[in-house]
Amino acid sequence: MSKRYPRTLSSGANNTVIAISETEVGKLFFGDTRSDIGSEAEKMRFANGVNGLVVKFVRLDVFDNEGEMLVMERLYPFDYRAYEHERRLLWLDVFEDELKQLHRAGFAHRDLQRPSNMPGEAFDNVFLTQNGFRLIDVGISALKQQVGEQLFDRFVQQELEEFEKFRTYFLSR
């Protein structure tokens, strides 16, 4: 079992996310992760400059002199099932528009639907909040300028297919 940190919110395959305050969370990085944390921060900043779909980057910081921490805004997700079908359709339309804006700008999230061999729910990285849908965890996201057009186009196509699966999931709950 992995180490449990105070104020843990979630733990994924590579990182733990902890509550820092009512408005901030920290994604913890240990070992030589400078390129991972820097890359994730860069992709988050890029997406934040396009629209508000991706969780907001706040800063990079140190965690108890043990490791590094990517500090982000804290999100409070809602349960989809508490809302009417018509409202869900509206949220999905906005989500799709914002996702396509990110694609046109050169950003693909790449993790709307988790691979089947990963722990957690299928769409753990999609949160419904008081401000609509938000995406978390940009660790494997891609910037077109870094991966090239062909690979980026493949990522976008896969993401649009995952969005359609999410649409079915979200409306059927």
Per-residue pLDDT band for 97 (boundaries 50, 70, 90) equals very high
Per-residue pLDDT band for 88 (boundaries 50, 70, 90) equals very high
Where residue 148 falls (left for φ over 0; alpha for ψ -120 to 50; beta otherwise) is left
Query: What one-character DSSP code corresponds to residue 6?
Result: T
| Better-predicted residue by pLDDT, 12 or 25 | 25
Beta-strand ranges (E) seen in 20-168 are 24-29, 57-63, 67-73, 107-108, 126-129, 132-135, 142-143
pLDDT at 1: 41
Give the three-class secondary structure for 80.
helix
Per-residue pLDDT band for 157 (boundaries 50, 70, 90) equals very high
Note the pLDDT tens digit of each residue in 102-153.
Answer: 999 999 999 999 766 666 678 989 999 999 999 999 989 999 999 999 999 9
pLDDT at 56: 98
Contact at 8 Å (CB) between 138 and 47?
A: yes
Note the pLDDT tens digit of each residue in 25-66.
Answer: 999 998 776 668 999 999 999 999 999 999 999 999 999 888
Cα–Cα separations (whole angstroms), residue 38 to 28, 48, 138: 13, 15, 12
**Domains of the chain in sequence order:** 8-73 (3.30.200.20), 80-172 (1.10.510.10)
